[in-house]
Amino acid sequence: MRFLKDKIREFLHRRGYELYRRPWLPKGTDAFESLRAEWEHWQPRVIFDVGANVGQTVKRLRPLFPTAQIHAFEPVPSTFAQLQANVRGDPHTQCHPLALAERAGTITIKINAKSELNSLSPALRDAADLNATEVALTLDTTAGFCARHGITHIDLLKIDVEGFELAVLEGTVPLFSVGAVDYIVAEAGLMPNNPRFTPLPAMIDFLLPHGFWLVGVYEQMGHHYRQGGEYCNALFTLKKNFI
Residue 135 belongs to a domain: no
Residue 219 belongs to a domain: yes
Count of domains forming the chain: 1
What CATH number corresponds to the domain at position 188? 3.40.50.150
Rounded to whole angstroms, the Cα distance separating 43 from 115 reads 31
Residue 105 belongs to a domain: no
Residues of the chain with pLDDT under 50: 12-13
Residue 204 belongs to a domain: yes
pTM (predicted TM-score) = 0.86
User: Domain of 206?
Assistant: 26-97+142-242
3-class DSSP string for 106-143: EEEEECCCCHHHCCCCCCCCCCCCCCCCEEEEEEECHH
Please give the single-letter amino acid code of residue 59. K
Residue 225 belongs to a domain: yes
pLDDT for position 91: 95
Residue 75 belongs to a domain: yes
Rounded to whole angstroms, the Cα distance separating 219 from 235 reads 11
Residue 154 belongs to a domain: yes
Residue 103 belongs to a domain: no
Is the CB of residue 49 less than 8 Å from the CB of residue 72?
Answer: yes
Is the CB of residue 58 less than 8 Å from the CB of residue 90?
Answer: yes
